Structure 1
Amino acid sequence: MPRVSTDQLAARRQQILDGARACFARYGYEGATVRRLEQTTGLSRGAIFHHYRDKDALFLALAEQDAGRMADVVAEQGLVQVMRDLLAHPPATDPASADESSWLGTRLEISRRLRTEPEFRQRWSSHSAELTRATRERLERQRRAGTLRDDVPVAVLAQYLELVLEGLVSHLAMGLPADDLEPVLDLVEAGVRRR
């Protein structure tokens, strides 16, 4: 039997995650059936669940990956850039044409599951802390550099930005217009900068 390299395994896992992201964005967690996961990944259920124990483990791995990517963007460019990225890939009005590169589908399912599933909330808490930590560390770096306002504690500014993010996610989830929100994000960004 031929051996599969570590790179091939990583590529297969990423193929599964990319397909799952599209499937969860189109159908939500509940609607992402095994059959639909097979269709969007192009792989059999055996291949999918060889890498991920079950649908819940697959979703959690996807959510972890997206949270890590968001934290990387925050560390380099700030939480407002994450919001700009969400605007750049707004949700489609037709679930069949959902943008599989967007974090929004995963973020919406995380929010729903946090509200309705205590077990998921407990498992997710350490991952949500990663985004908060990245936001606070960036804000602290900006404060040391003298570009961040100094009349409000960093913790309050971080909470403010996280609330704006959640509000934006809700706005997009409701299908409200997003084409005029860049000036709003400019205002949010200006609100945390030193005057």
Structure 2
Amino acid sequence: MPKVSADYMEQRREQILSGARRCFAEFGYEGATVSHLEAAIGLSRGAIFHHFADKDALFLELARRDTEAMLDTIAADGFVQVMRNLLASQEDYSWLGTRLEVARRVRTDPGFREQWADHQKLVDEAATSRLAIQREQGRVRTDVSERVMFTYLDMVLDGLISHLATGGDTEIAGEVLDFVEHSVRTQDG
């Protein structure tokens, strides 16, 4: 068997993840059968599952990557920017399928909930840390804890996702995000 380069293997993984993202977005986790995955990715099940142990591992990798991107945005620009980015990428709702599926599986699958807890903890810590820094700089309110502000923003994110998933007005959503950002800021922030 000929050896393949690390670059080739990485390109193949990216091809698999890209197709799987489209498939999960279109069919949901349960509906993303192996046949659907093969068609979306353009590879056989053997090629797909050579790189990922199973469909669950494939989905978790997508969710992990989404979490990492979210953490980077939170660290650089804050939690509201995560929502603004989602709103700005209206033409690409592939993230939506992942986020909705994570919420469903956390609610219904104890094994997944346990696996996901570590990812969620990273988001919680990054967001509350960012809020603490913003508080020290006098940019966010001091009359509520960072934990309360994070929970508020996380609930707004879930509401935004639901709003977008059901075809809600995106123009008004931007104005709502302005209101949300103003609601956590100080007068000077």
| CA RMSD across the alignment | 1.6
Percent identical among aligned pairs is 55
Q: 1:1-195 maps to which residues of 2 (within 5 A)?
A: 1-90=1-90, 99=92, 102-195=94-187
1:66 to partner: Cα distance:
0.9
Q: Could you list the runs of 4 or more consecutive aligned residues of structure 1 that deviate by over 6 angstroms after TM superposition? A: none
- Preserved contact between residue 73 and residue 79 of structure 2 (Cα < 8 Å): yes
Provide Cα deviations, 1:51-88, integer angstroms capped at 9, x if missing partner: 11111111111111111111111111111111112212
The separation in 1 between residues aligned to 2:4 and 2:21, in whole angstroms, is 24
Provide Cα deviations, 1:3-40, integer angstroms capped at 9, x if missing partner: 22323222221211111111111111111111111121
The separation in 2 between residues aligned to 1:38 and 1:85, in whole angstroms, is 30
Equivalent position SS for 1:123: helix
1:121 to partner: Cα distance:
0.8
1:139 partner letter: L
Provide Cα deviations, 1:96-127, integer angstroms capped at 9, x if missing partner: xxx36x42110001111111111111111111
1:144 to partner: Cα distance:
2.0
- Preserved contact between residue 160 and residue 173 of structure 2 (Cα < 8 Å): no
Q: Which runs of 5+ in 1 are unaligned?
A: 92-98
The separation in 1 between residues aligned to 2:135 and 2:8, in whole angstroms, is 43
1:2 to partner: Cα distance:
3.3
- Preserved contact between residue 75 and residue 126 of structure 2 (Cα < 8 Å): yes
Give the aligned length: 187
TM (normalized to structure 1)? 0.89
- Preserved contact between residue 25 and residue 98 of structure 2 (Cα < 8 Å): yes
The separation in 1 between residues aligned to 2:42 and 2:23, in whole angstroms, is 12
TM (normalized to structure 2)? 0.92
1:43 to partner: Cα distance:
1.5
Provide Cα deviations, 1:103-162, integer angstroms capped at 9, x if missing partner: 211000111111111111111111111111111121122122221222221111111111
1:114 partner letter: V
